[in-house]
Amino acid sequence: MPPKFDPNEIKVPKKVGDDIAKATGDWKGLRITVKLTIQNRQAQIEVVPSASALIIKALKEPPRDRKKQKNIKHSGNITFDEIVNIARQMRHRSLARELSGTIKEILGTAQSVGCNVDGRHPHDIIDDINSGAVECPAS
């Protein structure tokens, strides 16, 4: 384990590295944040996926080696219902006041990732939400 995991000189055993590998097993090929909570010299590992990681996982693409392929564009398609589910997962970390704002944040991330939503460009759906043509769930 690198020293940056060790701010208060707690020796991080090999077991913690194995636990992190086990917790992040289904996120293979994606960059993922891991929250490491150390209490009474016991480490608790919590996987905190980003919006882009959740979107790429929802695209169900085969895992790729990030070292071999740089700046991968994900040209898949995702449904609006999956976007709403991702927004519900990210709701507690979002700065938006309502779920519709969080949905727009996730749509913006989908645009950055390069995928389409229901066969359309994500920003078109954001415009539809702003105009009222697409109805967002209340919660």
- pLDDT of 17 higher than 80: yes
Band (125; pLDDT cuts 50, 70, 90): very high
- The rounded percent of the chain whose pLDDT value lies above 70 is 83
Say which residue, 28 or 82, is predicted with more confidence. 82
Residue 13 has what pLDDT? 74
Sequence-separated (6 or more) residues with CB below 8 Å from residue 69: none
User: What tokens does 32 get?
Assistant: 């993922």
> What CATH architecture applies to the domain 13-48?
2-Layer Sandwich (3.30)
Q: Of the ranges 11-25, 27-41, 92-106, which one carries the lowest mean pLDDT score?
A: 11-25
Mean pLDDT of 9-22: 76
* Cα–Cα dist 99/90, whole Å: 10
Same fold, 13-48 and 51-131: no
DSSP string computed for 82-117? HHHHHHHHHGGG---SSHHHHHHHHHHHHHHHT-EE
User: pTM score > 0.85 for this model?
Assistant: no
Counting every residue written for the chain, the total comes to: 139
3-state secondary structure 22-81: HHCHHHCCCCCEEEEEEECCEEEEEEECCHHHHHHHHCCCCCCCCCCCCCCCCCCEECHH
Separation CA 40–CA 125 (nearest Å): 48
pLDDT in tens, 85-124: 999 999 999 888 999 999 999 999 999 988 999 999 999 9
Q: Domain spans of the chain?
A: 13-48, 51-131
Task: Report residue 67's pLDDT band, with 50, 70 and 90 as the boundaries.
Answer: low
- 56 pLDDT above the threshold of 60: yes
- 89 compared with 14, residue with greater pLDDT: 89
Question: To the nearest whole number, what is the mean pLDDT of the chain?
Answer: 84
> Given the DSSP bridges, would you call strands 77-78 and 116-117 parallel, antiparallel or unpaired?
parallel
51-131: CATH number: 1.10.10.250
